[in-house]
Amino acid sequence: MAVTRNDLEGVSRRAVLVGGAASGFLFAFHLPARAVNEPVQPPDRTDGRFAPNAFIRIDRSGTTTLIMPQVEMGQGVYTSISMVLAEELDADFAQVAVAHAPPNDKLYANPIFGIQVTGNSNSVRAFWKPLRTAGATARAMLVQAAAQQWQVDPAGCSTANGRVIHAAGGRSLAYGDLADAASRLPPPKDVALKDPEKFVLIGQPLKRIDTPDKVNGKAVYGIDAMLPGMKFATLGACPVFGGKVGAVDDRAALKIPGVRQVIVLDDLVAVVGDHMWAARKGLDALVVTWDEGANAHLSSNDIWEDLRAASRKDGVVARSAGDVAKGLAEGDRFEASYELPFLAHATMEPLNCTVHLTPDSCEIWTGSQVIARAQSAAAKAAGLPVEKVTANNHLLGGGFGRRLEPDMVVAAVRIAKHVDGPVKVVWTREEDIQHDIYRPVYRDTIAASLSNGRIVGWKYRIAGSSVIARWLPPAFQKGIDIDAVDSAVDIPYDIPNFSAEYVRAEPPAVPTGFWRGVGPNNNVFAIESFIDELARKAGKDPVVFRRDMLDKNPRMLAALNLAAERSNWGQPLPARIGRGVCVQPSFASFIATVVEAEVDEQGEVYLHRVTSAVDTGIAVNPDTIRAQLEGGLIFGLTAALYGEITIENGRVKQSNFNDYRMLRIDQAPKIDIHLIKSGEPPGGIGETGATAGPPALRNAIYAATRVALRRLPIDRSLIAVGNRS
Amino acid sequence: MTTLTINGQQKSFDAPADMPLLWVLRDVLGMTGTKFGCGIAQCGACTVHIDGKPVRSCMLPVGAVRDRAITTIEGVGATPIGARVQKAWLDLEVVQCGYCQSGQIMSATALLATTPNPDDSDIDAAMAGNICRCGTYVRIRAAIKRAASERQS
Amino acid sequence: MTLSARSVLFPVVVVVLVVAGVWFVRGPGPMAFSGGPKVALADYKSNDPTGVPASLAKADLIARGEYLARAADCVVCHTSQGGKAYAGGLAFNLPFGTLYSTNITPDKETGIGNYTDQQFLNALHRGIRRDGARLYPAMPYTSYTYMSDADALAIKAFLLSLAPVQATPPANTLTFPFNQRWAMGFWSALFNPDTRFEPDSSKTAEWNRGAYLAEALAHCGECHTPRNLAFALNNRNKFAGALTAGWHAFNISSDKNTGLGAWRDQDVASYLASGHADGHGTASGPMGEAVDESFSQLDPADVRAIVAYLRSVPAVASTSLPAAVAPPAPASPREGAMADAHGKMVFEGACVSCHGWTGESSISPFATLTGAWAVNDPDATNVAQIVIAGTKRHAPDGAISMPAFGNAYSDGEIAAVANYVTARFGSKGSRLTARDVADLRKQTAR
Ligand code: FES
Ligand code: FES
């Protein structure tokens, strides 16, 4: 099954009618600005194609094309979404094709965000109801069309594998044969959804739709866009954040065979050539004097000092319960601060965008988590109305939040303004790492008190950048970043006196953005690290300590118990090998994770085994859930071991995989994922592993060495023998 | 004019001798299955076979290839081992975003060609140069073993 | 013996002892080994070994000075990382503190814009600054002292033709007694011959040109000749190899096993001109810089002359290198040296893609480890340094580089991979520790 190009015309023609609010915890808000997936146009009855809503197209030949409102970046969502749609539609799953959705904030808005975006592990959660409704509505219309043709009661008809069947009459019709007739019917309201007991697709480990082309080189990512007459460009922005181009000597660059032009913009230079090699060599040959500006002396140390100062101030209370002051006055009080570094995304596919700009049109090819935003950003950069911009989305070679930003599109359009004909702008890996939009630095301070082995007071303060305030301003209200406090306001434990507060502290100059695991990534690390420290103070086993505070959270408790059992929790281990546990109710999934790791005498860490137990509600595709946890754990463990972007003289020190390290296969642990059966609505899963890995590893190191690390990445010198802190 | 043998076919083109094979494949010949990830031989996304051996095409000057046979992801499925590896990859759903997987499959195929029954340390030695940012390592290991065992069956 | 005889004899004995002691410590001069009669330059009948090659004979003073400045490799030491050329500020990390190179652009306040010819010659030949203060011998004036006045002043003309850069290097941080510049006067008196190059009339013109280039300009001995207790070159072991600025400068005497004796002329020439010779590895670190900034820019005849001169340097065996370099390692990672499991892990992740399991690179001969002294050095000094800092070479097929791993890999990991690499590709594995690597990091100039 191939992933086809954007289904452009189908969408502009047809209307959508799906309702439903988001399920599960995410943001406790909905943007008031716009109803989601609203009808935009009356049905078009001219071509006999059945397009009952934004997601489903059935043509006369029976080809069923499902339009993907969420982008495929490896999380398997094209398959999961297709399964949900096909389940209610009773389509023949082997025959469905999928297409990338075109930019359209109305038709393809994510119901939780109110705009067209893939992120926050909410694709299945947010679209669960809307997609089921869309599938069921289309099915009802097809049944209606068949019943009319046969002159029978629709109630006597059933559907399966892309056919309407009238068992009593011994008749059946393929959906393709009904497309024309169905397209003339008005969509019914309030269709009934299937009883989950009757699901035939959902819950099965079906093969992914996008993978066959990914093993034979045929899959097309943004970076693979190829147009006749296309040129290739690469760019270099001022290495110092906020700096400008001073003087450029391009004589040597222009002498390189294949170099066509050198483009100098106010903050970046680009070289255009016949291929990336010429462009790259040309860029290296440019002699650029940068006007480094105000940040020329900025360093990580300054940023940390600022953040530490900010984190000592009171924040805005995001949630409180009981009487924190009183709670903290009881029993023994402890306090700790945890610090998390800037991180780059380093998606495997470097940033890129291809642009063909003419005086009155602009077409772009890229891979974006926000294709509608990319389209409007391109329009703005091109100085064209948005209708003049065609945006083609692609498979993403990794997103992780990086492709929630359209900066690579804007840069490419600005370059394309100076290029005659189409140009593909590909970032070098060095540029990708040095001009990322980074996971912010955070500092979390927790004060807690223990009485009778339980936590009776808990005061949690997050200090760090607000990505939401920049990225989705309407959602930043009353000084609280709802993402930054996610998993801190809804901590799983039963703590009588509680408060969580937020201090917005923007690092100077360094742009910050979402990174796989978003808010929970930060908060779960601090919370679960401190819980381990408290368990030790209380003289309790870390699992027992947690278990004792989870009596009101049965889903979390069940996951913890299962993970503990399957990881052989409590069984003795040799010296310098430890197990660490972490629980998290993030993204509406309940996950407990145990990492077993060894620390050698020099402080090198070896990952032995990871065991996760997960209750993510109804598991749409259990194999995808396992895969996402496996991959997410590696992602998080990579960050815990190595991830840190540092700033020196206003610029990022790291440059490529030699100094921004990735975990490799020979370091990967054995991973066991255990799914807990559940009838609850689906939770999010794509980011959970990234969140689970770091605290569980940190706690395993604590168990192995008795060194309480409070900072990531892990400082190996602190856990070497003879260097105990 | 340079002529190379790629996946059994002769391809002729103009390119400077110092141009890495990766860019010849992608930008000159339009064979985009081979991926760019780092350009410094640290990630393996650009792996192709030169006379059956895995080589990082991002650093291999095209002038150094001469008459040696090149196999890319577009052609590796035509070899029995390559086809087996691709099938194992699908059977075990190794792939996530997929961007690294061309390189992973090329490295795995080269491994099985020299080591039909690799153990974990053989897999580590052959595959540690291929980064997967999506973290599919656990399944890569399993799929290599699966591909190896299917030879026997 | 009478008392008076004794009283006469005693000082004589003392003087003889002191002279002998000085002679012993100072040792022979750098060209003493040639043994032939030395004549003053003015009296030398054959081609003048000083100056520029024939192709530049008619060039103006500045162009000639530029060639000579290249040959003397001024720029490498007088440029800091990322700084303006010749503006100084490069840090030399010595055991007793840090020394910074000076600004030799024509800036009048911070550079050498106010130097008279004589002041410039005093600095180059005698190690005496314009203000009379003594230079530290990190400035190789004991080599430059052999340079002719004409050549030195051509270099001055070139330097003064550059754009002035206002830049003051950081203050040196030497500890007592090394911060006492005046003491360098005594050192100089002992160790600086303060004499210009004298050709050996028994040798060919090519040899004499090579000697002049190698000794007066390229100052090879400053890195490749071991030093004595007084930190002066010990020419009894001329070119036998030494540890300089955290890198091993290998034996370039004619020793067959551990020096250049078994190299072909074209190998030595290629190594100088391109930083690489097949089967002998690739230059990195300070030698890589010398190739980039100096040897690669020399006239081929001058490179040949240096080779001819090197050939004549008596063999001195190194004890620090094995007698033979190791052949290629087995193709399978299962075979061959297994010394360090952790090192193997680093290697298979970050290194093998270029260097291969055999040590013979599938990417470029410049990345081949087999045969290189660096991997046969049981101290693994240069292997560790290259892993830390990376390296870049200009191969015929274009630039090829290895990235620096020092920022992301721990001292323990670097030690482990160095030990693995030397065990697998060399004839005797190293035993570096994390502490050794930490020390190496501290010694490099930056
Ligand atoms: S692109 Fe060649 S190894 Fe990364
Ligand atoms: S599958 Fe995404 S990088 Fe490997």
Residue length, chain A? Answer: 725
Q: Say if residue A197 is in the same domain as residue A263.
A: no
Q: Say if residue C75 is in the same domain as residue C175.
A: yes
Closest ligand to C-alpha of residue B20 is 1
Distance CA A639, CA A631 (A): 13
Helix (H) or strand (E) holding A212: none
- The whole-number average pLDDT for the span A434-446 is 98
Contact A31, A128 (CB under 8 A): no
Q: Is B45 in the pocket of ligand 1 (CB under 6 A)?
A: yes
Residue A105: CATH number of its domain: 3.30.365.10
Contact A422, A310 (CB under 8 A): no
Which chain C residues are closer than 8 Å to A655 by Cβ?
Answer: 403
Does A725 score more than 90 pLDDT?
A: no
Q: Which residues contact A201 (CB under 8 A, 6 or more apart)?
A: A83, A86, A87, A93
Prior bond of C177 cis (ω within 30°): yes
Overall number of domains in chain A = 3
Q: Say if residue A119 is in the same domain as residue A17.
A: yes
Retrieve residue A244's tokens.
């400008």
Contact A63, A176 (CB under 8 A): yes
C166 in a structural domain:
yes
Overall number of domains in chain C = 3
Q: Say if residue A132 is in the same domain as residue A153.
A: yes
Residue C423: CATH number of its domain: 1.10.760.10
pLDDT grade for A37, boundaries at 50, 70 and 90 = very low
Kindly report, residue by residue over A647-699, the tens digit of the pLDDT.
999 999 999 999 999 999 999 999 999 999 999 999 999 999 999 999 999 99
Does A14 score more than 50 pLDDT?
A: no
C307 in a structural domain:
yes
**How would you class C390 by CB atoms within 10 Å of its CB: exposed for 0-12, middle for 13-18, buried for 19 or more?**
middle
Is residue A290 within 8 angstroms of chain C, CB to CB? no
The single-letter DSSP state of residue A190 is: S
Q: Which residue puts its alpha carbon closest to atom 4 of ligand 2?
A: B132
Retrieve residue C21's tokens.
């002691």
Interface test with A, best of B138, B141, B144, B145 (most A CBs within 10 A): B138
Inspect the interface and report whether the beta carbons of C334 and B40 lie closer than 8 Å. no
Inspect the interface and report whether the beta carbons of B50 and C350 lie closer than 8 Å. no
Residue length, chain B? Answer: 153
A432 in a structural domain:
no
Which chain C residues are closer than 8 Å to A642 by Cβ?
Answer: 408
- The whole-number average pLDDT for the span A194-211 is 96
Interface test with A, best of C80, C165, C345 (most A CBs within 10 A): C345
Which segment of A455-464, B13-22, B137-146, C12-21 scores lowest on mean pLDDT?
C12-21
C249 in a structural domain:
yes
DSSP assignment of C312-366 equals HSPP---SSS-SS---PPPSSTTSS----HHHHHHIIIIIHHHHTTTS--SS-GG
Interface test with A, best of B133, B136, B137 (most A CBs within 10 A): B133
Residue A458, strand partner residues: A448, A498
- The whole-number average pLDDT for the span B92-120 is 98
C14 in a structural domain:
no
Does A17 score more than 70 pLDDT?
A: no
Which domain-ending residue is among C296, C312, C328? Answer: C312
Inspect the interface and report whether the beta carbons of C364 and B61 lie closer than 8 Å. yes
Q: Say if residue A384 is in the same domain as residue A408.
A: yes
Q: Say if residue A182 is in the same domain as residue A226.
A: no
Kindly report, residue by residue over A102-157, the tens digit of the pLDDT.
999 889 999 888 899 999 999 999 999 999 999 999 999 999 999 999 999 999 99
Distance CA C192, CA C141 (A): 8
B96 Cα nearest atom in ligand 2? 1
Distance CA C267, CA C265 (A): 5
B44 Cα nearest atom in ligand 1? 3
Q: Which residues contact B119 (CB under 8 A, 6 or more apart)?
A: none
Kindly report, residue by residue over A616-658, the tens digit of the pLDDT.
999 999 999 999 999 999 999 999 999 999 999 999 999 999 9
Instruction: Give the pLDDT of residue C16.
Output: 67
Kindly report, residue by residue over A496-553, the tens digit of the pLDDT.
999 999 999 999 999 999 999 999 999 999 999 999 999 999 999 999 999 999 999 9
Inspect the interface and report whether the beta carbons of A659 and C404 lie closer than 8 Å. yes
- The whole-number average pLDDT for the span A418-426 is 98
Which chain C residues are closer than 8 Å to A604 by Cβ?
Answer: 342, 410, 412-413
Residue-number span of the structural domain to which C115 is assigned: 42-182
Q: Say if residue A111 is in the same domain as residue A163.
A: yes
Retrieve residue C355's tokens.
């260097």
Dihedral angle of Cα B47, B52, B53, B58, to the nearest 10 degrees: -30
Q: What residue spans define the domains of chain B?
A: 2-71, 77-152
Q: How far is C343 from chain A (nearest CA, A)?
A: 12
Q: Which residue puts its alpha carbon closest to atom 3 of ligand 1?
A: B41
Which domain-ending residue is among A426, A454, A476? Answer: A426
Instruction: Give the pLDDT of residue C340.
Output: 85
Which chain C residues are closer than 8 Å to A659 by Cβ?
Answer: 403-405, 407-408
Which chain B residues are closer than 8 Å to A656 by Cβ?
Answer: 38-40, 42
Q: How far is C334 from chain B (nearest CA, A)?
A: 8
What mean pLDDT value characterizes chain A? Answer: 92
Which chain C residues are closer than 8 Å to B65 by Cβ?
Answer: none
Q: Say if residue A566 is in the same domain as residue A530.
A: yes
CATH of region B77-152: 1.10.150.120
Question: What distances in angstroms separate CA A160 from CA A93, A167, C220, one per listed residue?
Answer: 10, 12, 85
Q: Say if residue A420 is in the same domain as residue A548.
A: no
Residues of chain C scoring pLDDT < 50: 1
Strand ranges across the sheet with A171-174 = A158-160, A163-166, A171-174
Residue-number span of the structural domain to which A91 is assigned: 6-213
Instruction: Give the pLDDT of residue C178.
Output: 85
A601 in a structural domain:
yes
Q: Say if residue A362 is in the same domain as residue A507.
A: no
Distance CA A475, CA A586 (A): 19
Q: Say if residue A321 is in the same domain as residue A453.
A: yes
Q: How far is C218 from chain A (nearest CA, A)?
A: 28
Instruction: Give the pLDDT of residue B51.
Output: 97
Is residue C354 within 8 angstroms of chain B, CB to CB? yes
Q: Say if residue A614 is in the same domain as residue A538.
A: yes
- If one counts every other C-beta atom within 10 angstroms of the C-beta of residue A605, the result is 20
Distance CA C375, CA C392 (A): 18
CATH classification number, B2-71, choose in 3.30.365.10, 3.90.1070.10, 3.30.1120.10, 3.10.20.30: 3.10.20.30
Distance CA A342, CA A142 (A): 52
The single-letter DSSP state of residue A714 is: -
Is residue C299 within 8 angstroms of chain A, CB to CB? no
HEC assignment per residue over A123-173: HHHHHHHHHHHHHHHHHHHHHHHHHHHHCCCHHHCEEECCEEEECCCCEEE
Pairing verdict, β A670-675 and A605-615 = parallel
Contact C387, C285 (CB under 8 A): no
Distance CA A208, CA B95 (A): 9
Q: Say if residue A204 is in the same domain as residue A234.
A: no
Inspect the interface and report whether the beta carbons of B27 and A275 lie closer than 8 Å. yes
Residue C218: CATH number of its domain: 1.10.760
Q: What percent of chain A has pLDDT over 70?
A: 93
Instruction: Give the pLDDT of residue C388.
Output: 96
pLDDT grade for A23, boundaries at 50, 70 and 90 = very low
E strand segments, C207-285: 242-244, 247-249, 276-277, 281-282
- The whole-number average pLDDT for the span A396-405 is 97
Which domain-ending residue is among A213, A241, A272? Answer: A213
Which domain-ending residue is among A398, A426, A454? Answer: A426
Distance CA A248, CA A290 (A): 9
C263 in a structural domain:
yes
ipTM, 2 dp: 0.93
Distance CA C146, CA C193 (A): 9
The single-letter DSSP state of residue B138 is: H
Kindly report, residue by residue over A376-398, the tens digit of the pLDDT.
999 999 999 999 999 999 999 99
In this prediction the pTM is 0.94
Distance CA B45, CA B99 (A): 7
Instruction: Give the pLDDT of residue A41.
Output: 38
Closest ligand to C-alpha of residue A219 is 2
Contact C245, C445 (CB under 8 A): yes
Instruction: Give the pLDDT of residue A376.
Output: 97
Instruction: Give the pLDDT of residue C26.
Output: 77
Is residue A658 within 8 angstroms of chain C, CB to CB? yes
